[in-house]
Amino acid sequence: MVITANDLSKWENFPKGLKVLLLLNGCDSDGDGSSAAETRSELESMDYIVTTFTDETEALSAVVKNPESFHIAIVEVNMSAESESFKFLEAAKDVLPTIMISTDHCITTTMKCIALGAVEFLQKPLSPEKLKNIWQHVVHKAFNDGGSNVSISLKPVKESVVSMLHLETDMTIEEKDPAPSTPQLKQDSRLLDGDCQENINFSMENVNSSTEKDNMEDHQDIGESKSVDTTNRKLDDDKVVVKEEREDSEKEEEGETGDLISEKTDSVDIHKKEDGTKPINKSSGIKNVSGNKTSRKKVDWTPELHKKFVQAVEQLGVDQAIPSRILELMKVGTLTRHNVASHLQKFRQHRKNILPKDDHNHRWIQSRENHRPSQRNYNGFQQQHRPVMAYPVWGLPGVYPPGAIPPLWPPPLQSIGQPPPWHWKPPYPTVNGNAWGCPVGPPVTGSYITPSNTTGGGFQYPNGAETGFKIMPASQPVSVNTSLFSF
DNA sequence: TACGCAATAT
DNA sequence: AATATTGCGT
């Protein structure tokens, strides 16, 4: 929690401010002409925040104690005592991308460093050219180390990057194939030199939506996103087809219950990579529209995506939550206004089905199981056969009729604070607290939260995923409308 | 034009 | 079944 979403989003000039741990040889015995001060200023000139160490033990200690204080380590190979340098490297490499530097031109030394885990070997003297791209290692590590394993300092980087690119991943990408980035790094000079900021785009994004001219139309408003992705290239412009080669393309997403891959209509089918390994789906990450190429237009409203949607709605307030605004807040380049409108429509309809009951006090409340009116069950979404409770799942205050008293509206914030007391939560596993637990509110990007806040609600996706907003309804003193809940 | 909603298509 | 589209009134 050190960092909030807001903070992250503010890291606009991302590479700048990168915290670098610089471990230099204590004595200048190596005789490289560059002094520690020079190296440091070299880094600082790139706007990196440098912390210099001359003692490997101290440096390690610092990393252990304040992992959040460093994003990357640059270690000078101590020619008179290589092992010292390597010791640090080996210990730190898992936590921080570690770059080795030396005046030594020997290929063996370089290899040794790389073999031991260094992400790169730079020959001294350093120069802005050599240093300006080191942040890529940070990003790479942030994205390629198992999601949860990402060190604390790298998480914010990851989130920041995601935010910058308007990605919608859930940050749990787990793939770990080193391959892609490494090569890329080598040529980064080329990339960066060109100052490619404008086209940052990332594979995941592309994956996400197979582009489509259809979408394009709306896309534009959102954002530019398309275009090149550094890692996987291709796709892009309208006409090009896109789909086919996804082979390497990453992650096929889909977590549990996948299945979407049904049709293989046009393009290639999903070859499960030749490697024979299973089809792999890493569950986590990016979920894009169905993995198959075909499905271009459908949006996969994953929990993450829905969460964003809900957050946007919350931020805007039900009343002002209109497709275009929601779309802006969501910052998901692959979505179109129509997609959002459609989802919003469903969202509202859902609430509509549910709320009414609440209002009509009691009479509608059906009690426990079995009683569901045959008609349409409220909560078409999370219906899991069980008697779902009648609490306002998607409910948002706005809907209540003037006279009616909205079922408690606890200040949104508090809900955020702690997990809502779901005492009233039905025993059904389906309605899992987890889903609700998702931090819909916490980092609310917008600084404020509309007074009208929301109440919780959830979607249940075919794949079992469930999302929802939390919110407090229940938490309150149960007194007031207990009646709202079916039991 | 953008919304919201309902009907309908995929 | 869940979305996307479409059409229509606002």
Q: What is the mean pLDDT of residues A132-155?
A: 77
Peptide bond into A125 cis (omega under 30): yes
Report whether pLDDT(A112) > 60: yes
pLDDT given at position A297 = 62
pLDDT band at residue A74 under the 50/70/90 scheme:
very high
Least confidently predicted of A36-45, A53-62, A63-72, A114-123: A36-45
Q: What is the mean pLDDT of residues A112-129?
A: 88
Contact between the CB of A351 and strand B at under 7 Å: no
Q: Which residues from the 350-409 window of protein chain A have CB within 7 angstroms of nucleic acid chain C?
A: 380-381
In contact, A36 and A88? CB cutoff 8 Å = no
pLDDT band at residue A120 under the 50/70/90 scheme:
very high
Of A132 and A222, the one with more pLDDT: A132
Buried b (16+ CB within 10 A) or exposed e, A64-81: eeeeeebbbbbbbbbbee
Contact between the CB of A298 and strand C at under 7 Å: yes
Q: What is the mean pLDDT of residues A47-59?
A: 89
Residue corresponding to tokens 């290589």: A82
pLDDT band at residue A149 under the 50/70/90 scheme:
low
Q: A475: phi > 0 → left, psi -120 to 50 → alpha, else beta; which?
A: alpha
Give pLDDT tens digits for A275-319.
333 333 333 333 333 333 333 367 778 777 888 888 888 888 877
pLDDT given at position A287 = 34
pLDDT given at position A477 = 30
Contact between the CB of A348 and strand B at under 7 Å: yes
pLDDT given at position A355 = 57
pLDDT given at position A230 = 32
Give pLDDT tens digits for A249-263.
333 333 333 333 333
Of A366 and A149, the one with more pLDDT: A149
pLDDT given at position A249 = 35
pLDDT given at position A98 = 93
Contacts of A483 (CB under 8 A, 6+ apart): A361, A362, A365
Contact between the CB of A322 and strand C at under 7 Å: no
Contact between the CB of A87 and strand B at under 7 Å: no
Report whether pLDDT(A119) > 90: yes
* Of the ranges A22-31, A106-115, A138-147, the best mean pLDDT one: A106-115
Query: Over chain A, what HEC string results?
Result: CCCCHHHHHHCCCCCCCCEEEEECCCCHHHCCCCCHHHHHHHHHCCCCEEEEECCHHHHHHHHHHCHHHCCEEEEECCCCCHHHHHHHHHHHCCCCCEEEEECCCCHHHHHHHHHCCCCEEEECCCCHHHHCCCHHHHHHHHHHCCHHHCCCCHHHHHHHHHHHHCCCCCCCCCCCCCCCHHHHHHCHHHHHHCCHHHHCCCHHHHHHCCCCHHHHHHHHHHHCCCCCCCCCCCCCCCCCCCCCCCCCCCCCCCCCCCCCCCCCCCCCCCCCCCCCCCCCCCCCCCCCCCCCCCCCCCCCCCHHHHHHHHHHHHHHCHHHCCHHHHHHHHCCCCCCHHHHHHHHHHHHHHHHHHHHHHHCCCCCCCCCCCCCCCCCCCCCCCCCCCCCCCCCCCCCHHHCCCCCCCCCCCCHHHHHHCCCCHHHCCCCCCCCHHHHHCCCCCCCCCCCCCCCCCCCEEEECCCCCEEEECCCHHHCCCCHHHHHCCC
Contact between the CB of A93 and strand B at under 7 Å: no
Contact between the CB of A461 and strand C at under 7 Å: yes
Report whether pLDDT(A240) > 50: no
State the pTM of this model: 0.37
* Of the ranges A169-178, A264-273, A341-350, A433-442, the best mean pLDDT one: A341-350
pLDDT given at position A115 = 92
pLDDT band at residue A5 under the 50/70/90 scheme:
very low
Of A217 and A97, the one with more pLDDT: A97
Average per-residue pLDDT for chain A: 55
CA distance A185 to A269: 31
Å from the A218 CA to the B1 C1': 14
Question: Of A19, A16, A46, nearest to A130 (Cα)?
Answer: A46
Start-to-end CA span in chain A (Å) = 36
Report whether pLDDT(A322) > 80: yes
CA distance A289 to A254: 9
pLDDT given at position A33 = 52
Report whether pLDDT(A47) > 80: yes
Using CB atoms within 10 Å of the CB of residue A148, give its burial: 0 to 12 exposed, 13 to 18 middle, 19+ buried.
exposed
pLDDT given at position A165 = 67
Contact between the CB of A220 and strand B at under 7 Å: no
pLDDT given at position A121 = 92
Tell me the nt nearest to A336, Cα to C1'.
C4
Q: What is the mean pLDDT of residues A433-449?
A: 33
Contact between the CB of A470 and strand B at under 7 Å: no
pLDDT band at residue A52 under the 50/70/90 scheme:
very high
Å from the A366 CA to the C9 C1': 36
Report whether pLDDT(A60) > 80: yes
CA torsion, ordered A441, A290, A206, A434, to nearest 10 deg: 20
pLDDT given at position A17 = 84
Å from the A345 CA to the C5 C1': 13
pLDDT given at position A346 = 81
CA distance A171 to A136: 17
pLDDT given at position A232 = 35
Å from the A301 CA to the C9 C1': 29
Q: Which residue is nearest to nucleotide C6 (CA to C1')?
A: A338
Tell me the nt nearest to A338, Cα to C1'.
C4
In contact, A100 and A113? CB cutoff 8 Å = yes
Of A253 and A159, the one with more pLDDT: A159
